[in-house]
Structure 1
Amino acid sequence: MTPAKPTLVLVPGLMCDASSWGAVPSGLPDWHVQVVDHGRADSLVQMAEQLLSRAPVRFALAGHSMGGRVALEVMRIAPERVTHVGLFDTGHLPKPAGEAGDEEVRKRMALLAIARSQGVRAMASEWVKGMVAPQRLNDRPLIDAILDMFERKDADIFEKQLHALIHRPDATTVLQTVKVPTLVLCGALDAWSPPIQHQAIADCIPARPAIVSVPDGGHMVMQEQPEAVLAAMRQWLALPSSVSQGASC
């Protein structure tokens, strides 16, 4: 009897769906790949609980952007169920206090206002300007694929997911307890979640994570540089799930 394939759960980011993962699902034929749909959840914890209710007992996990934060909440709730964890183009800190936090909220609410008044595609047309590598802004197939993806969701979902991000918890203590093979990956040209932010994430993880900065990739790195992402993921998923102590935050 052929053994069952292990499961990899992929967690999309803000307003994203399976298409944000590009060629990843088809490029990992030795894995049973599931892509999460957050539905109308309005908190990272709710998204994590939904994921856990639908996932097998044991699984590998990779989250992109907001999905990386969801993955960290999964690790907070049920770390014993996760064999490998990948954190892509993401962050771990809560909304900053004071003026910096107020400015973040203002910018997010400005995008929501566009989505409400002009439609999600118009909002996404503004959003995408900082979300791909600068040289890809004239790549119409790539940009249209991202805009089409956003347009598959509505402004109400956007509002709920913004609420989840604005009220995100601090995941520092979660990172400090990670003991499974970990991949911390981002696009080298990601202006929203830059490489230095991922180094800070990696510095908190005692399991000596693999750190990959993908050349010529922006925030949507899986769509921009799929082969480089797949190469990093194959190496990561080939690692046995075991404890390895290293540095801590």
Structure 2
Amino acid sequence: MTTPHLILVPGLMCDAASWAPMLPALQGHAQVHVVDHGQADDLVTMAQQILDAAPETFHLAGHSMGGRVALEVMRMAPERVQALALLGTGYRPKEAGAAGEKEVQTRQALLDVAQRDGVRMMAQVWVQNMVAPSRLTDAVLIEEIVQMFQRKSEDVFKRQIRALLARPNASDVLQQLRVPTLLMAGEWDTWASPQQHQAMADLMPARPTVQVVTGSGHMMMMEKPEAVAAHFVSWLKL
């Protein structure tokens, strides 16, 4: 049996380091390619970049913003995706009214910190809500996340925020999914909760079970790589 190509799509300000801890467990199960969003400032462009560089068919996994990009790939070329994994992500557009304005203000506040005090300082603020409470004292993990963010500029941060605020509604994509789909959420993830992933599952024809990663926040691949990898290995065999 041919080993499938697996394209991994990182989230906001993330790179290959976000997936690295789980990759050893995937050896022999997939040929792994990690995406770099470059200077793109909208999800459709990010998705098109993936399609332009990808093999003819592939497995696709996206985390956070990367999950939304993966859904745009599915919208554009569903026939090329053999299986889909969505981790710590969502599907709704920015809300109208006060809720949407609150999101804009929250993201702008982080951008202001990055532009005023640097990306490292912004990352130190951001990470406080992105890992499980028990991992906030894990200095090695926190520094790995902060350094990952620091490798990108405040301009890239601004571009990716612009992409997220303009995100489309992906409900229709979920309703039309016909490929094996893995849904994963961190137990402590407040940005992309298990309940949000259940709402996504309820839209899908196959109604997949949401796999909740115990003891993890938003950065599940770095917090609990063994648990995430185990689910990936099972999914790759479907």
Report the equivalent of 1:80: 79
Which structure 2 residues correspond to residues 3-152 of structure 1 after superposition, within 5 A?
4-30=2-28, 31-152=30-151
Query: Aligned-pair distance for 1:23?
Result: 2.3
Q: Which letter maps to 2:113?
A: I
Report the equivalent of 1:160: 159
CA distance in 2, matches of 1:238, 1:211: 18
Residue deviations 1:199-227 (CA, integer Å, cap 9, x gap): 00111111332420010000000100011
SS in 2 for 1:183: strand
Matched, 1:200 2:199: yes
Report the equivalent of 1:237: 236
Unaligned runs of 5+ in 2: none
Q: Which letter maps to 2:114?
A: A
CA distance in 2, matches of 1:51, 1:208: 27
Query: Aligned-pair distance for 1:4?
Result: 5.0
Q: Which letter maps to 2:116?
A: S
Residue deviations 1:49-103 (CA, integer Å, cap 9, x gap): 0000010000000000000000000000000000000000000000000000001
CA distance in 1, matches of 2:56, 2:25: 24
Q: What is the TM-score when the length of structure 1 is the normalising length? A: 0.93
Asked if 1 retains the 8 angstrom alpha-carbon contact of 2:60 and 2:84, the reply is yes
Q: What is the TM-score when the length of structure 2 is the normalising length? A: 0.98
Q: Which letter maps to 2:236?
A: L
Asked if 2 retains the 8 angstrom alpha-carbon contact of 1:182 and 1:208, the reply is no
Query: Aligned-pair distance for 1:184?
Result: 0.5
SS in 2 for 1:207: coil
Query: Aligned-pair distance for 1:24?
Result: 2.5
Query: Aligned-pair distance for 1:192?
Result: 1.0
CA distance in 1, matches of 2:219, 2:77: 28
Asked if 1 retains the 8 angstrom alpha-carbon contact of 2:194 and 2:210, the reply is no
Asked if 2 retains the 8 angstrom alpha-carbon contact of 1:61 and 1:84, the reply is yes
Report the equivalent of 1:244: none
SS in 1 for 2:60: strand
Q: Which letter maps to 1:15?
A: M
Unaligned runs of 5+ in 1: 240-249
**Identical columns (%):** 56
Q: Larger helix proportion, structure 1 or 2?
A: 2
Asked if 1 retains the 8 angstrom alpha-carbon contact of 2:198 and 2:210, the reply is yes
Residue deviations 1:146-172 (CA, integer Å, cap 9, x gap): 000000000000000000000000000
Asked if 1 retains the 8 angstrom alpha-carbon contact of 2:23 and 2:229, the reply is no
Asked if 2 retains the 8 angstrom alpha-carbon contact of 1:114 and 1:122, the reply is yes
CA distance in 2, matches of 1:41, 1:174: 22
Q: Which letter maps to 1:25?
A: L
Report the equivalent of 2:213: 214
CA distance in 1, matches of 2:210, 2:102: 30
CA distance in 2, matches of 1:205, 1:33: 26
Number of aligned residue pairs: give it: 237
